[in-house]
Amino acid sequence: DNPDSHKSMQLLRAIGFFRGNILILSATIGAGIFVSPKGVLKYSSLNVAVSLSIWAACAVLTLISALSHAELGTTFPISGAQYYFLKRSLGSSVAFLNLWIKLFTHPLRLATESLLLSTYTIQPFYAGCPAPELPKRCLALAALWSLGLLNARGVQTVAWLQTVSTLAKMTVLCFICFTGIVLLGMGERENVARFENALDAELPDVSQIAEAFLQGLFAYSGTSILNSMAGEIKNPGKNIPKSLITGIPMVAVVYLLANVSYLAVLTPKEIVSADAVALTWTDKIIPSMQWVISFGISTSVFSTMCCTVLSASRMIYRASQEGQLPFIFSMLNKHSCPTTAVSQLIILTSIVIITSDLINLIRYSGLALWFLRGLHMIGLLKLRYQEPNLPRPYKVPLPFIFGSIAISLFLILTPLIKTPKMEHVYGLIFIFSGLLCYWIHVHLNQHSVSFVKVTCYLQLLFNVSPPEDHNEGISTEKSDLKVIFL
């Protein structure tokens, strides 16, 4: 009798406080700090003081938003908590709209990270000139599919990789930060000059500041991973807020010091024109270290991609359990991984990688992300009013909730009002077309016998089974909340 046959087929609570911090560092520190400095400086009108101020402000806004969203993951400690929360507070149509947007923004983010990884890996082979596009895209696809196979091994294997890769990325970033501090401490005129006259530079307008915030906040966007994986975190009521309070300030300090180091070595124009900012920085300081820095950054971005896959696949898994995606996406393999959900994400991202522009990808995904965060806060207020007695292990102060709503409105409405473009109109049409798709695919969808057969064939192909604990500890009774700790 095989002992594995008696294992409970469900997601496992295997992430504690330490691994929660590792996940935040892995998910947040990655593509952002190596690509966003270019965008932040561009939309700050190459103003150094404004650029650094925006990085600091982004850290504060991220902490406020993350702590506000932590109430979702602690009140409903299940995987894909944001999706489940929206369905419960604002209804199925809004939850489907969240799903509709995330099915596009998650592949956009993952494609950005894949292309950045390939750029940093290949660039040392093409010293002095940009790397060709075809090899970059091929390597990005290879890394992406390797990541899919790794995730199929389960969250514990991924958590082990995160611990190792986080040490590698922190080593690289600490080297960059320390070198910048030393150069400024030496007081050489060339290194200090950019900071001495920073306040005399041109100031950006309000719409440019909003765009710069979107670029900077992209670098912090991985902080929502703990809510996405709340069903796999031990004692989520305590560990989710504690991990955010300790993890985000660490990320903020590293980001500020890294930007100071970039600016101590490179001019703002050099940063904006560089495809790989850290490699351009290394080439000016220690050219012989370019391979080491390139490897460290590639490892960093790979671990961030891993976290993105974890987060996105749990959202697809939850939507499938709630009946808004085919049931096959909620089935698990023997490693307690939703393999089919991971496979769908990898396929969608592969399509995005074929044609993309990094800065535009960040802008589009950033607008959609903050639109959803605003919806989450509105739902949070509504649920507090409708269900005041619902058990809440962690309760965020109301000013944080209203602050998050104000941030979302500023980032979304300012570009639309000050500098309206057709791409903004296309974005709004795309967002609200999700409601039309909801009406067509949910209300008019008829499950045919042939579709059931396809599900059976896919189940055999991926060797997956339905989870035993469908609700993962969430009672269908609104007044009752139970958490199962494994």
The predicted-structure confidence for 6-53, as pLDDT tens digits, reads as follows: 445 566 676 778 877 887 887 788 766 776 788 888 888 878 888 888
Give the pair of three-digit tokens for residue 485.
């700790």
C-alpha to C-alpha distance for 276 and 279, rounded to whole angstroms? 5
- Helix axis angle for 92-122 and 31-43, nearest 10°, is 100
User: Is residue 269 exposed (0-12), middle (13-18) or buried (19+ Cβ within 10 Å)?
Assistant: exposed
User: Which residue do the tokens 């986080």 mark?
Assistant: 166
For the cut 60, the answer to whether the pLDDT of residue 4 exceeds it is no
Domains of the chain by residue range: 11-462
Q: Is the dihedral of CA 71, 75, 80, 84 positive or negative?
A: negative
What is the chain's mean pLDDT, rounded?
A: 76
Kindly report, residue by residue over 144-157, the tens digit of the pLDDT. 888 888 877 766 66
Residues 6+ apart with CB under 8 A from 38: 271, 272, 274, 277, 359
**Average of pLDDT values for 234-255?**
87
The DSSP element (H or E) to which 49 belongs, if any, is helix 48-75
φ, ψ of residue 453 to 5 degrees: the values are -65, -40
Which residue type, as a one-letter code, is found at position 449? V
Give the pair of three-digit tokens for residue 27.
């998910």
C-alpha to C-alpha distance for 329 and 340, rounded to whole angstroms? 5
Confidence of residue 437 (pLDDT cuts 50, 70, 90): confident
User: Is residue 185 exposed (0-12), middle (13-18) or buried (19+ Cβ within 10 Å)?
Assistant: exposed
Nearest to 389 by CA among 269, 293, 311, 477: 477
CA 205 vs. chain centroid, Å, equals: 28
pLDDT over 90 percentage in the chain: 0
Confidence of residue 132 (pLDDT cuts 50, 70, 90): confident
**Average of pLDDT values for 292-321?**
80
- What is the model's pLDDT at position 462? 75
Q: Which CATH class is domain 11-462?
A: mainly alpha
For the cut 50, the answer to whether the pLDDT of residue 475 exceeds it is no
pLDDT over 70 percentage in the chain: 81
Residue 416 CA: distances (Å) to CA of 233, 408, 422, 432: 39, 13, 10, 16
Phi-psi region of 28 (alpha: psi -120 to 50; beta: other; left: phi over 0): alpha
Confidence of residue 481 (pLDDT cuts 50, 70, 90): very low
**Average of pLDDT values for 52-67?**
88
For the cut 70, the answer to whether the pLDDT of residue 164 exceeds it is yes
Is 0.85 surpassed by the pTM of this model? no
Nearest to 215 by CA among 264, 167, 271: 271
- What is the model's pLDDT at position 70? 86
